[in-house]
Structure 1
Amino acid sequence: MNERNIKELGLQKRIDIESKFRPEIEGLRVVAALLVAIYHIWFNRVSGGVDVFFVISGFLITTSIISTINRTGEFKFLPYVTKLLKRLLPSVLFILAVVLILSTFLLPESILGKTIREVVASMFFYQNWQLAISSTDYLDATQMKSPVEHFWALSIQGQFYLIWFVLFSFILWMMNKYQIKSIKTVINMILGVLFVTSLSYSIYLTEVNQPWAYFITMTRVWEFALGSLLCINLSAIRVPKWIAVIIGWLGLVGLIATGILFNVSQMFPGYIALWPMTCALFIVLSGTQDTRFGLKRFLGSKPMVKLGGIAFGIYLWHWVLLEFYRYNVQQTPGLLMGSLIIVSSIALSYLMTEWIEKPIRTATVNQIAFKKLEAMMGVNILLIGSLLGMSYMQEQELKKQVSSDRYPGAMAIKNALNVSEENPFPSYANVFNDLPLVHTDGSNQGLKDSDVKVGQYGKKKDYKATIALVGSSHSEQWFGALHEAVKGTDIRLINLTRSGTRFSTGYEPDSLKGTWNQNVLDYLKDADVDLIISHVTAADASKDRIHQQMIDQMQFVKDEYGIDGLALRDNPRYDFNVLEALETSSIEDTTKKMNAQDNQTDEAFWKNFEKTNKSLYKMDLTRYFHVKGEYRPVIGNVVIYRDNSHMTNTYAKSFGPLFKEKITEVLSEKLGSK
């Protein structure tokens, strides 16, 4: 694509511009793509290259829009969108089809559902919002990455193109209606306001909710606006040749070092993102001068320009190849394999561009081009339906085999059953989504507010006793067991849980977590509750203070409100995803990995707590997580973990008889007297 600089903006519909090819921008595109690939492959880090893509996209699309206005005197939606779809969809649909086919044979079953959701999101350019929601879901944040996760950047780009259509349509309308004399000033003002507003919001949101800020569109608009501002004003900027040489190479070195200097995935897109933006700005400004030793000679060379033309495909292919390699060979490729992934990405991108993208993009008859796109879309939909259908049938077939004797779960330990671990349940494809009812029916409190949600279960009328499950996801995971325990009884069960928030005295009073804790206390003060149940240790916490603060909160409820407390010891936790290990290795190898680390640092504290605290009831179920002292990922033919620390709902439900026995013991007098 030829790049043009705007030389002058006039009053008329026609805007006089000077056309000029910018080869260094093509070279910058491939630098950004290769940086993303290199950091992903060998350093498992984010490079900041995507942010540079956004700046370049802002520059190029603004040039294209103004060229259209200059040529036709108008800016229509259908030609604009048609051109974009012919440019973007061929590569997107083709790669997604390849991913769906390979997923059948090479992808772990546990992320098949996640991958399909993200494929659909990528097809319709809302993948960034899909990931934003996932990354702020406490129980979803640790799930394995899909082969199409990187499509979030392309989704933002597609949304940005629509925003820019609205923006420049408004500007053109103002030009025609009000006969503005200095339209360049107006464009700069509008883009400047967008830049400042979006950057300010990005800085704020990155501080308060970085996972959400990283993916949403509004926090990235300023990066596109910067590229547009650069496009509008570049012809008016004069950079001395010696300065152009210096800032060009400084920009390149600074850009390469971004991923080393900053933890991009946790610090962007706040003010730190100004670093790669400034580097990109330096590189583009340096390209305004032709110098012997300038960066432009390198970035604008024929090989770099040629690679820049397929940089889009390099970015899309590298992650797909990398993830399939990780799931089937090893997590971090060596130098040879990593280099092969990059070379393969370049080759595939070139072939895709020549044989898939160009024939559609350059088709003079739009009807023919869109018939091809419709066929590609149809193939993808058919593949998605086939994968979902196969997964559903496999799960139904497995469910037919499920029985209490073949799949006893924790009861295999209690009753000393020797159960063959064949076809464990849930199937790996469904383990991750095997969640307690309260997490799927909306009763669980999310991370964004501090109000108390009260979910009621069991016997809701004429009940004789009420138990309340309180605390974080490590309390919530026991809901299945409690729900089983109260079946057929006169007990009401209520849920008072909030993801990522312990029932503890350890939070600042004015924080969201501290406020939620106080709101729970206020509710319990006047509630008809006989027993609260919560975990009082965190198996991965080495500080006794953390455990004690949870005990103190339960003790407060007991002393001040007269409500009994059942304190649960936390289940073992691991520093790796157990489900991922199961799928990528074996039950035996995962067992070895589980037993190679200290998975319960709360051991000494719990023993002391059992001896010294006489007013709270206690329940230690950790013995149901190992067989003869060996911690295992599957017990009683049931998969225990859905990630690194949370139980599957199926395994939790198998504890139902144990909780029923304990609750009956604790509430025996109240059940008999009420």
Structure 2
Amino acid sequence: MIDRSEEHGCRPEIQGLRGVAVALVVVFHLWPMVLPGGYVGVDVFFVISGFLITGLLARMATAGGRAWLVTFYSRRVRRLLPAAVLALLVTLAGTLLFLSKARWEETAVQVAASALYVQNWRLALQAVDYLGAAEAPSPVQHYWSLSIEEQFYIVWPLLVAAVIWLARRLGRSPKAALLVALTLVFAGSLAASVVVTQADPAWAYFVTHTRLWELALGGLLALAGEGFSPAAPSRLAMVAAGIGAIVISALLFSASTPFPGFHALLPTLGAVLVIAAGDIRLGRFRGLDVTILRYVGDRSYSIYLWHWPLIVFYTADRPAVGVLAGLGLMALTLGISELSYRYIEQRYRRPQSRTEWRPLAYGSAAIAVCVIASGGLGYALDRQGVDINLIGTPGYPGPAALLANAAVPDGVELLPPLGKLKRDVPVVYRLKCHQEQDSTEPVGCQLGDPEGSRTIVVTGDSHAAQWVPAIDKIARDHKWKLVTFTKAACPFTRAVVTENGKPYEACVQWRDNVLAEIGKLRPDLMFTSQSRYSDTPEPAMIEGLRSIWSELNKTGVKIIAIRNTPFVKFDPGDCLAADPDKCITARNEVEASNVFALAAAPLPDVRVVDMNDALCGKETCAAVVGNIVVWRDYHHMTATYALALAPYLAKAAGL
């Protein structure tokens, strides 16, 4: 039986369900191979929140009173903000202690996004950003789900108030009007979830409109399930089916499951069955009303807040969490969560003053503190520059250490500094002319010498873009114009490449548009390079490259194709912070076949350049060469090292 007498929703079986949900999430984060679909615990939380908050709002709104919205928001602030803000500030401090400087800037940005409850949108944008997709997980990444819930808490009361006001004006039943409104929200959001998940699962996982239906589902249960009271055997079957659906989801789903979409119906409907069944008492059997589950459920918010930063800090210089370490992290999480629950959650959820406005003011101030603290860290890192004038000096020989046996002094600070490593990218990213996956526009950067007598172009994906600092330097030295046309994950070939398992149509359109622009520019020379594309057969890639190259050769364009750079097996930022001596990869394990050489074989006006000897030694590829950091991630060079390669690239290209 659904009992709504508890204003704060402290039903024992719901607390037990919370305990199950947070346990799934924690185990998934500790040992994803054990519970590959444990992320569905978040979806269970969404249903619970939708159920409890919608029921509470309906009661508050129909009871009347002008200040019920203020009262609701004040209670949410007291309930959620103190623990969340404390966790953010402690995590920011822990970042400075436990994480590489290479991760400070992005963590600071995400702390601010989490404090403002837009972290889900930050991660959604990062998931489709080719640079951001390679970022290591931040210690506040889990705030994405809290952001969706907070957006729900802000918008939902306004929707409820508007629907009830309109129903009364039209002489309709407020409850019936709410049911209609929630049904529309549920149906629209679920449809969006299915469509967007099929088109772009990385984006769909985080954005609000693909998740809102899960909260609406709980809300529909709160409104439509009133008075529902099945017999005890039926309730037992409902609980068994509901828990079974949740557990099956956690066991059978994985990172490869398109989610949320229609797959999310299984765990969410399971949660609905458990909540609808209500409190079960058959002899000694109490369903989810078990002491340990209720204990964990009561502390589920704090457990969720604290477990993830602890895992990220622990794994900063470790590949995974072992059994003993995982149990230790669980114990530490429970200990910290107990303190957070007892002295933060319980203390501040009770009114501290007679006015409901004061918590809102305090909450705004707390958010401001987080934003200022994270912004201050980001500002300090941004002021730390990269002195490119040091390239080639005795302290920073760079590639000369490999190609000319130049001496490499010890005790020299790396260039770029680790705090700038992840943002040491070619200028085409800052100028917004490196196109993301969905763009088809042939937007080019005008670099080199604007008054130059000759014109050269750069085409290809991000592995072509990484050479722009070197090619720009060559163009300026020779007083040539340079125009860049680069696009994420889009090689300059007629071979078919895929995106999310489907033909990359935007790449085809962009390539054709760029070819048209090149026809107008009539350049003298084109540089190109590209990453690996394992889904495209090598013969097809070779023919696709040869097709474009021969076409351009006929118009008088000579081509310099730079062999793809290796994919190293370490994250340079974390590795250099932990143990620089271990930041190496066997070269023969990370070099792909030279498809450019095969494609260029019958074409006399195509020159293939192999620069890998300037990045790697004979046997290994290291993170640092000549005191300059080579890699900003596991497969892109730093802009600083690319710039250091300019004279060597010019020589290899015969310029």
Fold conserved (TM > 0.5)? yes
Query: Which residue of 264, 271, 291 maps to 2:282?
Result: 291
SS at match of 1:512: helix
Change (3 A) 1:247 1:597: farther
Q: Is the 8 A contact 1:198 1:221 kept in 2?
A: yes
Deviations 1:68-95 (A, max 9, x none): 1243355643222222111111011100
Residue aligned with 1:35, SS:
helix
Q: How does 1:207-218 map to 2 (within 5 A)?
A: 207-218=198-209
Distance 1:290 1:58 in 2: 25
Partner of 1:282: 273
Q: CA deviation at 1:97?
A: 1.2
Between the aligned partners of 2:421 and 2:198, the Cα distance in structure 1 is: 33
The alpha-carbon deviation at position 244 of structure 1 amounts to 2.2
1:401 positional shift: 6.7
Give 1:176's match in structure 2, choosing from 155, 168, 186. 168
Give SS of 1:497's match: strand
* Contact map agreement 1:521 1:557 (CA 8 A) in 2: no
Partner residue in 1 for 2:349? 361
Deviates more, 1:364-373 or 1:350-359: 364-373
For 1:573, the aligned partner's letter is F
Aligned 8 A contact 1:580 1:643 in 2: no
Report the equivalent of 2:616. 626
* Structure 2 residue 653 is the aligned partner of structure 1 residue 660: no
Moved more, 240-249 or 204-213: 240-249
Per the alignment, residue 583 of structure 2 pairs with 590
Report what 1:519 is aligned to.
Answer: 513
- What is the CA deviation profile of residues 310-363 of structure 1, one whole-angstrom value per residue up to 9, with x for unaligned ones? 1111111110111111115x3322222212222222222221122122222213
Note if contact 2:111-2:370 (Cα within 8 Å) is conserved in structure 1.
Answer: no
The equivalent residue for 2:121 is 129
Distance in 1 between residues matched to 2:119 and 2:366, nearest whole Å: 19
Alignment-mate amino acid for residue 137 of structure 1: D
AA matched with 2:529:
H
For residues 98 and 331 of structure 1, do their structure 2 counterparts lie closer, same or farther at Cα, with a shift above 3 Å needed?
A: same
Specify the code of the residue in structure 2 equivalent to 1:435: V
1:205 maps onto 2:196 in alignment: yes
The 1:400/1:621 distance shift into structure 2, 3 A limit, reads closer
- Pick the aligned partner of 1:534 from 517, 524, 528: 528
Give the 3-state SS of the residue equivalent to 1:235 in structure 2: coil
Mapped partners of 1:236, 1:217: distance in 2: 31
1:318 pairs with one of 304, 307, 311: 307
- Opposite residue 82 of structure 2, the aligned amino acid is P
What is the percent sequence identity of the aligned residues?
27
After the TM superposition, which residues 407-556 of structure 1 pair with which residues of structure 2 at under 5 Å, given as runs? Answer: 407-420=396-409, 422-461=412-451, 463-507=452-496, 511-535=505-529, 538=532, 543-545=537-539, 547-556=541-550
Segments of structure 1 that go 5 or more residues without pairing to the other structure are: 7-16, 666-674
Q: Find the aligned partners of 1:427 and 1:390 in 2 and give their Cα distance.
A: 13
Give the match for residue 579 of structure 1: 573
Residues 587 and 541 of structure 1: is their aligned pair in 2 closer, same or farther, counting only changes over 3 Å? farther
Shift of 1:488: 3.9
- Other-structure match for 2:88: 96
Cα distance, 1:397 vs. partner?
A: 9.5
Please say if residues 40 and 46 of structure 1, whose CA atoms lie closer than 8 Å, have aligned partners that are also in contact: no
Report the CA distance between 1:50 and its aligned residue: 0.6
- Helix, strand or coil for the counterpart of 2:546? helix
Matches for 1:187-206 after TM superposition, within 5 Å: 187-206=178-197
* Structure 1 residues 176 and 471: alpha-carbon distance in aligned structure 2, compared to 1, 3 A threshold: same
Alignment of 1:77-92 (within 5 A): 77-92=69-84
Q: Residues 259, 581 of structure 1: CA spacing in aligned structure 2 closer, same or farther, 3 A cutoff?
A: farther
Output one character per residue of 1:630-655: Cα deviation in whole Å (capped at 9) or x when no partner: 32211121111111101110011111
Q: Distance in 1 between matches of 2:589 and 2:537?
A: 15
Q: Cα gap change, 1:95/1:206 in structure 2, threshold over 3 Å: closer, same or farther?
A: same
Name the SS for the 2:458 alignment partner.
strand
Which whole-Å CA distance do the structure 2 matches of 1:428 and 1:75 have between them?
Answer: 51
Call closer, same or farther: CA 1:491–1:251 in 2, change over 3 Å: same
Cα deviation per residue 1:242-263 (whole Å; 9 max; x = unaligned)? 2322231232233123233112
Question: Aligned partners of 1:361, 1:613: CA distance in 2, in Å?
Answer: 74
Residue 155 of structure 1 aligns with which residue? Answer: 147
For structure 2, which runs of at least 5 residues remain unmatched after alignment?
Answer: 498-502
Query: Does 1:25 find its partner at 2:23?
Result: no
CA–CA separation in structure 1 for the residues paired with 2:340 and 2:108 = 22
Cα gap change, 1:38 to 1:458, in 2 (>3 Å)? same
SS in 2 for 1:160: helix
Letter in 2 for 1:252: I
TM-score, scaled relative to structure 2: 0.91
Bigger shift: residues 32-41 or 527-536? 527-536
Contact persistence 1:118–1:148 (CA under 8 A): yes
**Cα distance change on mapping 1:361 and 1:229 into 2, 3 Å:** same
Greater shift in the superposed pair: 550-559 or 516-525: 550-559
Give the match's secondary structure for 1:418: coil
- AA at the equivalent of 1:535: S
Question: Are residues 653 and 616 of structure 1, via their aligned partners in 2, closer, same or farther at CA, if it must alter by over 3 Å?
Answer: same
SS in 1 for 2:31: helix
The residue type equivalent to 2:89 in the other structure is: A
CA shift in 2, pair 1:479/1:66, >3 Å: same
Summarize deviations over 1:527-569 as a string: whole Å, max 9, x none.
3312111116739789523641452244243245332211111
Q: Report the secondary structure of 1:627's partner residue.
A: coil
Give the counterpart letter for 1:577 in structure 2.
D
- 1:170 shift after superposition: 1.1
Which stretch has the larger CA shift, 62-71 or 615-624?
A: 62-71
Q: Tell me how far apart the structure 2 counterparts of residues 107 and 434 of structure 1 sit (CA, whole Å).
A: 19
User: Are 1:267 and 2:261 matched, yes or no?
Assistant: no
Is the CA contact (8 Å cut-off) linking 1:210 and 1:266 kept in structure 2? no
1:14 corresponds in structure 2 to none
The number of equivalent residue pairs is 643
Q: Secondary structure of 2:233's match?
A: helix
> How big is the shift at 1:105?
1.3
1:575-626 residue CA offsets vs partner (Å, 9 max, x unmatched) = 5434333333x222121xx1176111315x5665565543311211111122
Which one-letter code corresponds to 1:531 in the other structure? L
- Per the alignment, residue 236 of structure 2 pairs with 245
Report deviation, 1:98: 0.8
The answer on 1:343 being equivalent to 2:331 is yes
Shift of 1:497: 0.5
1:618 aligned counterpart, secondary structure: strand
State which drifts further: 150-159 or 629-638: 629-638
**SS of match in other structure, 2:134:** coil
CA offset at residue 419 of structure 1?
1.3
What is the deviation of 1:288? 5.8
C-alpha distance in structure 2 between counterparts of 1:425 and 1:69, whole Å? 60
2:324 alignment partner, SS class: helix
Q: What per-residue deviation string (whole Å, max 9, x for no partner) do you get for residues 478-505 of structure 1?
A: 0010111111433110011101111111
Q: Distance in 2 between matches of 1:484 and 1:285?
A: 67
In structure 2, relative to structure 1, the CA distance for the partners of 1:293 and 1:473 (3 Å cut) is: farther
* CA distance in 2 between partners of 1:219 and 1:423 (Å): 46
CA distance, structure 1, for counterparts of residue 31 and residue 305 of structure 2:
17
Query: Partners in 1 of 2:287 and 2:513 — Cα distance?
Result: 62
Tell me if 1:165 matches 2:152: no
Q: Sort the Cα spacing of 1:135 and 1:107 in 2 relative to 1 into closer, same or farther, 3 A.
A: same
1:633–1:576 Cα change, 3 Å: closer
Matched letter for residue 337 of structure 2:
S
Q: Look up the SS of the partner of 1:363 in the other structure.
A: coil
Deviations 1:447-489 (A, max 9, x none): 122121122112223x211111101001010001011111143
Which of 593, 603, 616 is matched with 2:606 structurally?
A: 616
Distance apart, 1:140 and its partner CA: 1.2
CA drift of 1:287 comes to 2.1
Q: Check whether the contact 1:539–1:599 (CA below 8 A) recurs between aligned residues.
A: no
Q: CA deviation at 1:526?
A: 2.9
